[in-house]
Homo-oligomer: A and B are copies of this chain.
């Protein structure tokens, strides 16, 4: 049941006038609510506060002014599925299985023909939060596998409104079905069918639907006095980008900017809602993105990685550095900037800490508990690992980043016009063959050279000092690394979303072809 925008506005106004009188507002609840807002392919440079020239994200900029900004925050992988798997497990893809061994250093994700998905052996954030009575909801894109046993409600979520795969399409339903939209464990329609996306005009109401689902969920959990975890994973900034009518044509940046404006608006609405309900001081909110802007999609379908090199699919800063803001009035000091190196995996450990829970002790967790950073702006020394598939391409220690392998994409792809680094070319760095530098890594100082343009000469003392610090970190990491079973190796047309649960009621079941699995081809 969709509330319209005016109704939301009215409710917020109404609630801000009266809710505070009847809401129970303990400011030191032992089980604060947790909201993780995850953008899809949004780049570091897409927010005003991170230097987007159009400055069209007033709500996110306000969120930063009221919270803590993280200019050095990273994803665990420059592609959506493994990034999301890492966020929810607190572990690198090479550990949690969200990678491939079909070829060296290849990005893999969960298209409809993927056989695998998140393993039952992994422990997801909402599974642990349940111990303390949290009600867990995911809204939007799941992307950890679409076969029945991989879906969110099988992995700790209580509710779900959204889709298991990307909103690519439209498809003809014979070669390939349109991606289903689920309400909890039942399909309620498909993209391009019940849930329209006009690829020509870019119009779609999906973000509004996701926003309303979010506000509804918050409202009802608050009424029931239950702590909640909301994982709000809208996908309007992933190509094909879309926005609702109200936002189309409103940005100075074209359709991509329209989508950003609508998402910015949605974040503003959610924070206003928390305030109106009087639970802002009881709710830890974190905003970030799954990987860098997909600059290969061109200026109408992708965002900005600011001053950073390349974008999505690469282990350069443009592929891995993410916009990030933490917000929790009364707990996180307003208007602060943290230089802490953070990752999406820290959201696992930090959320558990916020809820008074511990991370699993039977496995290696890469995520860090950022609580000391959030509360006291302390700095914790920790490295960042940049993986592409099964290979550690680079590592950051302090301001130094060492590349052990460099690759943008293959000459074959590049010559077909697929460019992961448009307008950017650093000789010997943005290479089109997989270049090994393990004997003498390329080292950059990301403080004075955030764009990875000037590698430090290997004959300098600075290089030698940095390398010896980094080498120790890498050796420790490699020694402790037990790769997980790769879940993204096999594909099969038979496993696609032909007949998701609930299709019978809707008369939308399609017939699957015969199973013919093959080793997926991951070209980059």
Contact = CB atoms under 8 A, between A and B. Distances in A.
Interface in A23-50: 45, 48-50
A312 B315 CA distance: 29
A407 interface: no
B55 A51 contact: no
B447 A54 contact: yes
A193 interface: no
Contacts of A53: 71-72, 306-307, 446, 450
A447 B251 contact: yes
Interface stretch (A165-173, A367-375, A421-429, A431-439): A421-429
Nearest to A251: B447
A426 to B, nearest CB: 5
B307 A304 contact: yes
A449 interface: yes
Contact of A306 (B51, B253, B422): B51
Given A337-B48, A426-B423, A448-B257, A454 B298 contact: yes
A254 interface: yes
Interface of A is mostly: loop
A254 B448 CA distance: 6
A293 B380 CA distance: 32
B299 A453 contact: yes
Nearest to A339: B252
Interface residues on A, range: 35 or more
Contacts of A257: 447-448
Contacts of A52: 51
Copies, count: 2
A399 interface: yes
Contacts of A450: 53, 304
Contacts of A298: 454
Contacts of A313: none
Interface string A393-431: 000000100000000000000000000001111100000
Contacts of A339: 54-55, 252
B449 A299 contact: yes
Given A72-B53, A252-B399, A256-B448, A453 B422 contact: yes
A445 interface: yes
A85 interface: no
Contacts of A251: 447
Interface in A179-230: none
A479 B349 CA distance: 66
Contacts of A256: 448
A322 to B, nearest CB: 12
A304 B447 CA distance: 11
A290 interface: no
A443 to B, nearest CB: 12
A449 B302 CA distance: 10
Contact of A425 (B48, B254, B425): B425
Contacts of A54: 71, 339, 447
Contacts of A72: 53
A300 interface: yes
A280 interface: no
A48 to B, nearest CB: 7
A452 interface: yes
A434 B146 CA distance: 55
A448 B71 contact: no
Contacts of A448: 253-254, 256-257, 299-300
A45 B454 contact: no
Contacts of A423: 309, 424-426, 451-454
Given A252-B399, A307-B306, A447-B257, A422 B454 contact: yes
A495 interface: no
A118 interface: no
A138 interface: no
Contacts of A453: 299, 422-423
Interface string A283-315: 000000000000000111000111101000000
Top 9 closest pairs, chain A to chain B, by CB: A51-B51, A423-B453, A254-B448, A252-B447, A299-B449, A299-B448, A53-B71, A425-B425, A55-B337
